[in-house]
């Protein structure tokens, strides 16, 4: 089985954040800690991408992403926010679910394929409802892996 991106269990969490800056910081913390990356570099890259335009694509979901040196394949982190946060999303709705993605600097096609897979998953109304209702990070991870594995098959 091939996968479009790696999602480690420790890269999935429920976090408290009061604004977009804290969301991006929490995402950088998680990505750096789980995948052995430099936090400041991760944060700088995702903030740089965010300045080009919000990665909040609507329906309460954001997908901050960047290409970065030091990763050999696309890696992801998933955060469920304790309370929705304004994110300058396309539809104006605050964000509750954040699916971060980092890809190799030269990973053009793989980066786009991974983003497309995340977008498809997060556009599913039932999936979003299940993610919002999941009791803990372990349940969140299970839900995400079932879809990732199914889509890769």
88: left (phi over 0), alpha (psi -120 to 50) or beta: left
List 65, 97, 115, 147, catalytic entry: 65
Residues contacting residue 74 through CB under 8 Å, at least 6 positions apart: 4, 5, 6, 101, 102, 103, 104, 107, 110, 111, 114
65 counts as catalytic: yes
Q: Which residue has the tokens 């970065």?
A: 68
Residues contacting residue 31 through CB under 8 Å, at least 6 positions apart: 11, 37, 42, 75, 77, 100, 102
Catalytic residues: 65
């Amino acid at each position: 089985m091939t996968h479009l991106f790696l999602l480690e269990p420790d890269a999935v969490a429920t976090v408290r954040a009061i604004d977009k800056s804290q969301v991006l910081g929490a995402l950088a913390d998680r990505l750096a800690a789980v995948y052995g990356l430099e936090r400041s570099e991760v944060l700088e890259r995702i903030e740089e991408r965010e300045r080009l335009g919000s990665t909040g694509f609507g329906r309460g979901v954001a997908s901050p992403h960047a290409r970065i040196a030091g990763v050999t394949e696309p890696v992801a982190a998933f955060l469920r926010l304790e309370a929705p946060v304004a994110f300058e999303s396309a539809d104006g709705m605050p964000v509750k679910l954040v699916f971060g993605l980092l890809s190799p600097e030269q990973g053009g096609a793989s980066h786009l394929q991974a983003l497309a897979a995340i977008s498809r998953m997060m556009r599913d109304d039932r999936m979003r409802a299940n993610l919002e209702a999941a009791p803990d990070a372990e349940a969140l991870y299970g839900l995400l892996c079932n879809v990732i594995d199914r889509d890769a098959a």
